[in-house]
Structures are given as structure tokens and as C-alpha cells.
Amino acid sequence: MATGWDVIVCGAGTAGMPCAIFAARRGARVLVLEQSDRVGGTLYVSGGQMAAAGTRPQKALGIQDSPDRHYGEVMRISKNGAHAKLARLAVDGAADSLHWLLDNGFQLTPGHPTISFGHEPYEVPRTHWGVENGISILKAMKPEFDAEIAKGRITIRFKTEVVGLMQEKSGGAVKGVVARTGDGRREEIPGQNVVLMTGGYGRNRQLFPLFSGGYPLYGGLANEQSQGTGLTLGLMAGSELWGTDSYMPTFAGINDPREPWRQIIGTVTTPQLRQPWEIFVGRDGKRFVREDDPSVDAREHALLSMPHLTFWAVYDQGIAKSAPPFFVNLNLLALDDSGSGKVEGASSQDIVDRSYNSVDGWHRADSIEALGKLAGIDPAGLAATVAAYNQSVLSKKDGLGRTHLPMAIAKPPFYAVRHHGVAVVSFAGLAVSDRLQVLRRDGTPIPNLYAAGEVLGKSLLSGKSFVGGMSVLPSITFARLLGSQVLQWQGARSAAAE
């Protein structure tokens, strides 16, 4: 007879909490192991956008939508790169998951759902955001989670890291976990089912290039605990990774000079929100993309071809004075002269002016050639590119097809600000079956081992693109399914074995 916990959930974040809730409500004895000292995981840093079709908020606004249409758009935007069966499962369950959150007090932003242009847009408004982004989702789930703890149906242990899986020698069935407690003790914890929900690897600078086709980690927007634990555990158990060749950066961010791998601020590069006045160039001084291309997917793929995912936004004093605001989150750059604290009361323009030639990656010069030398851009290449662009402004005809040509880059001083592609989510993830069973390299399931959440990788439902709203809500949907069904599936396996 099996002993130990019915379900061991590794991670208490976006997926771990609902999985534990629904398993407990179906009579399972649930243990949740959380590496940090709080629940919520990436919800503290997530924008929390959720795409769902046929929802109550859509109907309230008279929006006609359906899971079938949603699924078709997922496959269109992903260029058929999304896992068809799991994408179908995600969109079919999306509305129910959103309604569960709403019924638990989720505060939807007024006027939502909407069409988001941060990623390739949907054709209809189906992106739902909370008033506090990911925190709104956490506030809806945590009381339900706490209630199950109070009833004794969930036990949670904080500061506990899962460092291994217990497996039978014959057949490799998982029969528990090996955990390391906060005081460094190792402990074997038996369990009939183990669910990996430990998030991605977006804060692990060593694993990131290994799992992302060699691309460097820029951005660092992931949760501190996104260290790739679940992927490592799965690999140790005999699984493989999907999507290691599917990494895509978002377009784009400016890095913290004190921690260059982390994003500090962003710029408004979405033409639907702000048409570009600047040009974007690589280290050779050449433009690499149509800056006003309405397809963010096209711009992100162009960025993927740039060495180190790096480019510079180049402009002049005329553009600096005339263009709409380009930078966002400037307060994060408002440092005093020692670089140790924020300058109180500094205006946005003060912050920008203080940054040139004092913050790494921010440059200002009185000639284009001098600007290139300061920024590390080929001076001759940059001068030729600016001259060609200025001619395009005069002729109103651009070689890359750009149509927004408001002003030549001709008035000194000239500026160049370095940008990088930003890593927001992990694209590679564990290979799983249609029932979210972790698969061996030969495609057969590892008995009693499941996974959901970012440990499955963004590419599972997006291919080599960003399909908006297909990260957070699928994590919740898959987690609810696992929590509801894992004991039933195990019973079916046991009956078949007998």
C-alpha cells in the first residue's frame, strides 16, 4: 500500500496554489513545498495579463468571442508552433478559470478585456488585466489557499527546496521527493504523486543560455526563485526539454548599470502607443528593422538576429525636445552622484539629462562620428546611416518601408541609448503528455510525475513568438485540472496494473 502524502506540490506560485486547492477539495492529503518564505511566486512581478474567450466581462461589453476563435488565433500568432492539444485544453478552460478568480474577488481593470499591443495583437478584445496586475490574481487565490490550510487539508512548508526525486529502481516511478530545509537538513518525503510547479529559469544566468540556444540573459524580470529547479529535477528523472530553440526576447529594455543583466527602465517602442522618432542601429551603425513596423513579432524576430540582442536608439536634440516621451520607469534611474540613492524631486528631463555620459550605455556628443566612438558603434557606418535616413525624411520614402518620418537627425547634440532584448519568461520547458505527465526521452510517461506552470516553458503555447495572455491563465487552468484529476488518474492506473 502506498504511503506518504497523496500529492506533493513543488512550488506555491501561480500554478502551485490552485493545484493544491483543487486537490485538497477532492480529498487529497496535500503537501506544498515552497523555497521562499511566502506564496505567490512570479505573481509579485507578473503583469498578469490573461486571455480568455466567452467570458462574462466580454459579454458585458457586447464582445462576441469563442474558444474556437481564440484557439485559431493562438495557432495563427504562434505560426502553428503551439502544442495543438494543450493549447486547445488551455483555451477551452480559460473562461472557467477566469470566472473562478472573479468569483473569489479578482478585481478586473475597468473597461477590460482589451486588445493588448505589447505582443502580437488578437483580433478581438480578450486580454483581461487586474487592477494590480499579478497581485490581483494572488489576492483572489490566497484566501482560498489559506482556507484549505486552516481546514488541515493542505500543509505548507516554507524555506524548503526540492533537490531530488525519489524513484523506484524498476520502472522509474516517482515515489516522493528529497528536500533541503532552511537549516540545511536533507529529508526524504514520500508521496504518491509529485507535481513540479517551481517556475522557470529566468533568474539563473548559468542555465539561461544553456536552455535558450546560447542567448544571454538580459532583463532579469523573473521571480528571484526562478532558478530552473523543476527543469533540473525533470532532467535528472529522465525527461527532456522542449523549446530550447524557441527563445524570443521582448522588444526591448535598458539595463541597470549596476547589474547589467537586469532591466532598469524601458522605452515606448510600440508604434500603436507611440510612433518612433528615433532610429535603431546595431554595432555596425546600420538600421536592422523598420522601427514603425506594426508587428511586434516582426520587430522581435529582427532583434533576435542582432549580436548580444543589442541595439542603440539614436536621435538628436530636435527629437529630444519635440517627440512624445520615450522613456518609462525613469524613477529607477534617478540616482544621486554617488550612485547609491535616488535624487528626490528630480523631473523626468533632469533624470535623462543626468544620465548621458554618466550612466553606462547612455551617450551624448556634438557630432555623429563622436557619438559612434563613445557608444561603441562604427562611426562611419553610423554617419552613413543617419545621412541616408535624413534623405528618407526629405523624400518621404524609406528603404526599410518606414512611413513615420517626422524629423531628420541633424541638430546637435546627438544621442545614443543602448537597448537589449528582455527576457520576461522561460521558453524551454519539460516535455509533458496531454495529461501533463512528465515524459521520458522515449516519449513514455514517468509514473506519478506531473508538471504545470512556467516549468513547461512559454514555447509550449506560443511557439517561437509571444502569444499574449497564454502564460498565467493556462498555468491556473492546468493546475486546476491536475488538482481535480490526479487522484482519479492514479486510481485508473492502479486498476489497470491490477
Residue ranges of the domains in the chain? 7-241+425-497, 250-422
Q: How far is CA 186 from the centre of its chain?
A: 32
Per-residue pLDDT tens digits for 238-289: 999 999 999 999 998 888 766 666 666 678 999 999 999 999 999 999 999 9
| Least confident span in 111-120, 144-153, 332-341, 441-450 | 332-341
d(CA 142, CA 137): 9
SS3 state of residue 476: helix
**The residue count for the chain:** 498
pLDDT bucket at 340, cuts 50 / 70 / 90: very low
Q: Are 159 and 36 in contact (CB under 8 A)?
A: yes
| Least confident span in 43-57, 137-151, 211-225, 445-459 | 211-225
CA angle 360, 362, 367 (to 5 degrees): 130
Question: How many CB atoms within 10 Å of residue 26?
Answer: 17
Q: Is the pTM of this model over 0.85?
A: yes
Predicted local distance difference test score (pLDDT) of residue 434: 94
Give the N- to C-terminal CA distance of the chain in Å, as an integer: 13
Predicted local distance difference test score (pLDDT) of residue 351: 76
Q: Are 100 and 480 in contact (CB under 8 A)?
A: yes
**For residue 471, what are the contacts with CB-CB under 8 A and spacing of at least 6?**
425, 454, 458, 461
H or E stretch covering 264? strand 259-267
7-241+425-497 is a CATH 3.50.50.100 domain:
no
Overall fold of domain 250-422:
Flavocytochrome C3; Chain A, domain 1 (3.90.700)
